[in-house]
Chain A
């Protein structure tokens, strides 16, 4: 049985380019094993790249049983192996972790929040700092969301109109309008490698005409975003499929949005408290209608089961605050669930969080020490954050490896067995979802 906890950054997750039809110098050089990053510094390559789309997806392997794929996603700052989990660094920082540590964990792409950064320190300042990359000194890829979700989830909502979303700034009470143009303008200033369209965000628990209205408006806003993008040669604008939990609305949205020439698609409007039974059906419906040659980004998904199942359903990219947020509360993610390090039962437990984990935390520290440290210093949070990011990235690396080696269904079975004490505890939605792509669990 393959070791499912392969160390981060090891050769089993190296790029493998199969398809040589791409003419870009970047792809050719990557094929010959040259470090993609150093290439970008080469002037002639820079010129050639200007004529080349800022996103290239190369499908390295497809699972013959499920809808899963393993791909190489070539973005302006570096190549990304998919399926990929993208940690969220909301305010231009991964909380408590330096960019060196993040790089050392093998992270190739992470998120920044347009809403937060647009408020503080603001797009003008970040532009002066050479974009968000320059400001936080992150040399790899960045994805920024549009600010849409934060507006709905965080802020007192005034009004959604065709123009945009009007809301009150929490910092000075002033009324702000976030329009598709404004959102793209901020994201252009941030200089992220992938930008998200501004969508009309509606909670997944809402039903009725509002859902349809939001879906149609999101299409119109997509077009406005495409028009507003000043840097199409450097920044990739992704569309976000909406339609709530209504299959017909979803299909209509898919039908329209896939007509637009965007480099990638996100599946939005899910992961917001809806029933999991509805959730997976919308995911698989979406991937059925999305073009295979473009990446599929499922927003807001980060729990291990959800990741594995949704990879099987055909998704390539994921983001979620959960792993890093839960770390700060002392919750360490492990293949068999999670471990609340602050609990008394770990006060004398001299094992590392996960004896098989290769992260810096597990190589040096015990549960008992971390338990004690939580009473004294913030470093305890950072140790767990490092571990949780390592856990997520290792998981995705293992998933990818199993797809490449043609044993993804077997991987899924082993994974589920490890995570749940017994088969009758498998979540029924996961069993159903996997069955829909020909994977039967015991």
Chain B
């Protein structure tokens, strides 16, 4: 893979294209961008028909060992790798370790192993088993095995140091096996930067990982809920200073739009797209505004595409304030969404988001979605997943456009402005 940057803000955001992806090298991914989040190769709730109602799909599909480790035997028998097994054609496959939307129990990591949780329980992975899995999966690229169990409150310095040491050791071992494995020829490896919330450890991890022959970097242990954004920004900024400019940086476990934007400013290129799935699972629809174009015709009038009028601002008590240290559940609703479970939508015949071109908004109304949620119908998940994915991808497109036009600040104000005005407002 080759990262071609068209615009770099000093010590910060980058805009460009990640090219040469896939075995034949013909795929590319715009940066900053997101991967397509899947569970066992399927975008949640979606079959190919419903998935392909989305006009723009990320060219890279993410699959996690959490959802496929238990199928190792089948994959080995299948011989042609996970893409063939899952019927994934024409996509680049990235294999990560943990599922960002499924929190896993801690306390099972050792010096030589990490664990993932499948449907049947815990699966312990040594580097040997981890690499055997990669050989069976045959991704186009994968993250090396890593110990990222540093996000809990009061993780000791010693524990953080251990996670950095172990992760580097795992990386070296993985690379050794990688270069001796024929099935992994042409497959690329990302090193994983750990370090918890300790600056020195983060820098050490970044420096050391950068010395290894990896194609890019995963930033781990920074997920939503583990620390506030200002600390995250600080750490990422320090880390990216140690990393080569021409290799991509993938941030794991962060998906909220405001956090994404802040991390892009700190130098992150790629994100996982599990956030729209989490929004879907709570029966919510993403609806934050993406429009930052100052239309001269509308100067002095109310801003266009105001997607949430005062009526819709949900109770502030439910949301997190920007800047708060919050280890709370990632499943808490944010201010970027509306909750279709609420009674007020039962006779709201507007689409989820006016002007959204997704299948759900073109064909259905809020009242219908509300009904589906109230009656516990499976179609709710299908339709919300389509809309939330579409909106999220559009967000990244808007992000890139704002970067290209030098309007990132405007987008930031738009995003945060919606949150700030919302804070403390009760219906």
Q: Which residues of A contact B (CB under 8 A)?
A: 91-101, 104, 116, 120-121, 125, 128-129, 135-137, 347-348, 350, 360-361, 364-366, 368-369, 372-373, 375-383, 386
Contact = CB atoms under 8 A, between A and B. Distances in A.
Interface stretch (B175-183, B229-237, B334-342, B359-367): B359-367
B46 interface: yes
B375 A120 contact: yes
Contacts of B394: none
A314 B346 CA distance: 44
B374 interface: yes
A101 B118 contact: no
Contacts of A121: 346, 367, 370-371, 374
Interface in B339-372: 346-347, 349, 359, 363-365, 367-368, 370-372
B87 to A, nearest CB: 4
A94 B379 CA distance: 8
10 contacts: A96-B382, A104-B49, A121-B346, A348-B73, A348-B77, A360-B47, A369-B41, A372-B74, A378-B44, A379-B43
Identify whether the interface residues of B are mostly helix, strand, loop, or mixed. helix
A125 B347 contact: yes
A92 B42 contact: no
Given A104-B49, A376-B39, A377-B40, A382 B378 contact: yes
A372 B74 CA distance: 9
Nearest to B370: A121
B381 to A, nearest CB: 6
A169 to B, nearest CB: 15
A384 B383 CA distance: 18
Contact of B378 (A96, A99, A120, A347): A96
Contacts of A128: 347, 349
B377 A93 contact: yes
Chain B CB within 10 A, most for which of A91, A347, A372, A376: A376
Interface in B364-407: 364-365, 367-368, 370-372, 374-375, 377-379, 381-383
Given A364-B87, A376-B39, A120 B371 contact: yes
A369 B382 contact: no
A372 B40 contact: yes
A377 B281 CA distance: 12
Given A97-B379, A377-B42, A364 B119 contact: no
B377 A101 contact: no
B360 to A, nearest CB: 9
Nearest to B76: A348
A101 B45 CA distance: 14
B70 A378 contact: no
Contacts, number: 125
Given A372-B74, A386-B47, A120 B374 contact: yes
Interface in B109-139: 118-119
B50 interface: yes
B67 A376 contact: yes
Contact of A375 (B40, B78, B349, B381): B40
Nearest to B70: A375
Contacts of B45: 96, 377-379, 382
Interface in B29-82: 39-50, 53, 67-68, 70-71, 73-74, 77-78
Given A372-B85, A380-B42, 18 more contacts: A93-B377, A96-B45, A96-B378, A96-B382, A98-B363, A120-B374, A128-B347, A136-B368, A361-B47, A369-B85, A372-B40, A372-B74, A376-B39, A377-B40, A377-B42, A378-B45, A382-B47, A382-B382
A101 B364 CA distance: 15
When A and B form their complex, which 3 residue pairs have the shortest distance between CB atoms, in order from nearest? A96-B378, A376-B40, A375-B119
Contacts of A104: 49
B349 A129 contact: yes
Nearest to B64: A376
Interface of B: 39-50, 53, 67-68, 70-71, 73-74, 77-78, 85-87, 118-119, 346-347, 349, 359, 363-365, 367-368, 370-372, 374-375, 377-379, 381-383
B49 A101 contact: yes
A364 B48 contact: yes
A372 B383 CA distance: 23
B78 A350 contact: yes
B330 to A, nearest CB: 19
Contact of B71 (A94, A129, A372): A372
Contacts of A100: 49, 53, 359, 363
Contacts of B68: 372
Contacts of B41: 369, 373
A98 B359 contact: yes
Nearest to A361: B47
Chain A CB within 10 A, most for which of B346, B377, B383: B377
Contacts of B70: 375
Given A120-B371, A378-B45, A98 B379 contact: yes
A268 to B, nearest CB: 26
Contact of A125 (B42, B87, B367): B367
A383 B381 CA distance: 15
A376 B367 contact: no
B136 to A, nearest CB: 13
Nearest to A130: B349
A97 B41 CA distance: 19
A347 B49 CA distance: 24
A41 B370 CA distance: 30
A21 B375 CA distance: 47
Given A137-B363, A368-B74, A378 B378 contact: yes
Given A101-B50, A372-B74, A379 B44 contact: yes
Given A121-B367, A125-B367, A375 B74 contact: no
Contacts of A136: 368
Contacts of B73: 348
A99 B47 CA distance: 14
B71 A98 contact: no
A373 B46 CA distance: 12
A365 B45 CA distance: 16
Nearest to A378: B45
A109 B118 CA distance: 41
B346 A98 contact: no
A365 B372 contact: no
A92 B371 contact: yes
A86 to B, nearest CB: 18
Chain B CB within 10 A, most for which of A99, A116, A368, A382: A382
Contacts of B364: 137
B398 to A, nearest CB: 27
Chain A CB within 10 A, most for which of B44, B363, B379: B379
Contacts of B53: 100
Contacts of A379: 42-47
B42 A373 contact: yes
A372 B63 CA distance: 14
Given A121-B346, A125-B346, A129-B367, A93 B50 contact: no
